[in-house]
Amino acid sequence: MPKVKSTPLYHFFNPRFLGLWFALGGLWLTIHLPASIQLRIGLNLGHILKKFSRRRRKIALINIQKCFPELSQKEQDELLNKHFEALGMYFVETALCWWAPAKKLEGCYTIKGLEHLEKAFNDGKGVILLSAHFTSFEIGCRLLSAASKSTFHGLYRQHKNPLLEEMILRGREAHFEKIIPREDIRGMLRSLKKNNVIWYAPDQDYGRHHSVFVPFFGIPAATITATSRLAKMSGAAVIPFFPHRLPDQQGYSLELLPPLENFPGDSDEQDATRINQLIETAINKTPEQYLWVHRRFKTRPEGEASFYK
C-alpha cells in the first residue's frame, strides 16, 4: 500500500523549527521514563497549556458552559482544569503512540466488543470506525489496531507547520497501513472496498458545506453528513469506537459498540442526530477527556451570533 510521500528530515534543520525540535525531543525522551513520571509530566504540561493558551482556554470554557449548564461555576472551572490535564496527557500519549515499542504498551488496556469488529471483517465490506476527538484517540487507535490485528487506515488534515505535518504522518504511518487526507472520499471508498478499517470522527465543525444543524448537548451544531454517504456508497459496517483513559494509572478502556442498524436512515438529519447522541453518551463517561478546545459551535444558524467573540 503506497505511503504519503515523506520529506527528508534534514530539510527541517534550520532555526525556524528549533523550538518544535526541542518539544519533539522532550516528548521522545518521556517514552523512556516510568509511567508515574510520564503522568506527572502530562499533568504539568496541561497546567502550562492552560496558563498560557488564553484563546484555547476561553474556547474550552465556553463549550463547557454551553454543554453543561447544570454545573455550578466552580464545577465548570474544575472540569476545565481537568480537561487541560487530559490535554497535557494527550501529548505524552501521542509520543507513546508514535515511538514506543509494542512491548511497552502490552497489558495497559481492556477491550470490550471486539467481536463486532471481527464479524464485520468476515462480512468483507470494510468498517467505518465511528469515533470522536477524545484526548486519548491517538493511543486508543494504536492499541485497538494491535489488539484486533487489523489493517487500519487513518485520516489526517494538513498542518501549516511542515515539520509537524511530517512528524504526524511518520508517526501514524509507523503503525497504520495507510493515511488518507480527510477530504479524500474516493480514497476512503477504495480502502473500504478492500475490507479495511477507517477511523472516522465526524464531531468537528467543518462549516455549512455538506453539514446539517442537529443538537449536540441540546445546541444546534453543524454536523457533517459524510458518515451517511460513506456507509451508503460502500455498504461498510459503522461501528462506534470510544477510548477512555482510566484513573489512577490503570491504563485505557477501549469500547466497541454493535454496528449501527438501519444506517443510513431516512434523512441526513436523523443520522447526524443519532451520531451526536452516541458521542454525547461517550463524552458523559469521561467529560474531561473530550477535545473542548475545538470550536465545535463555530458555525451558527443564520442570524445567530458567534459564541466565541
Who's near 96: CB < 8 A, 6+ residues apart? Answer: 31, 38, 104, 105, 139
Count CA within 13 A, CB hemisphere, residue 11: 10
Q: How far, in Å, are 9, 168, 216, 286 from residue 162 at the CA level?
A: 10, 10, 33, 33
The candidate with the shortest Cα–Cα distance to 81, out of 37, 49, 35, is: 49
H or E stretch at 8: none
* Angstrom distances, CA of residue 141 to CA of 132, 134, 227: 11, 11, 19
DSSP for residue 9? G
Name the residue among 135, 40, 131 with its Cα closest to residue 87: 135
DSSP letter at 258 equals P
DSSP symbols for 110-162: EEE-HHHHHHHHHHTS-EEEE---BTTHHHHHHHHHHHHT--EEEEE---SSH
The residues that bridge with 168 in the sheet, in sequence order, are none
Distances in Å between the Cα of 131 and the Cα atoms of 128, 157, 202, 256 are: 9, 16, 7, 10
pLDDT tens-place values along the chain, 309 residues long = 445 557 888 788 989 999 999 999 999 999 999 999 999 999 999 999 999 999 999 999 999 999 999 999 999 999 999 999 999 999 999 999 999 998 989 889 999 999 999 999 889 999 999 999 999 999 999 999 888 877 788 887 778 888 988 898 888 888 787 888 888 889 999 999 999 999 999 999 999 988 999 999 999 999 999 999 999 999 999 999 999 999 988 999 999 999 999 999 999 999 999 999 999 999 999 999 999 999 999 999 999 999 998
Which pTM value belongs to this model?
0.92
What is the spatial distance between Cα 9 and Cα 59, in angstroms, rounded to a whole number? Answer: 34
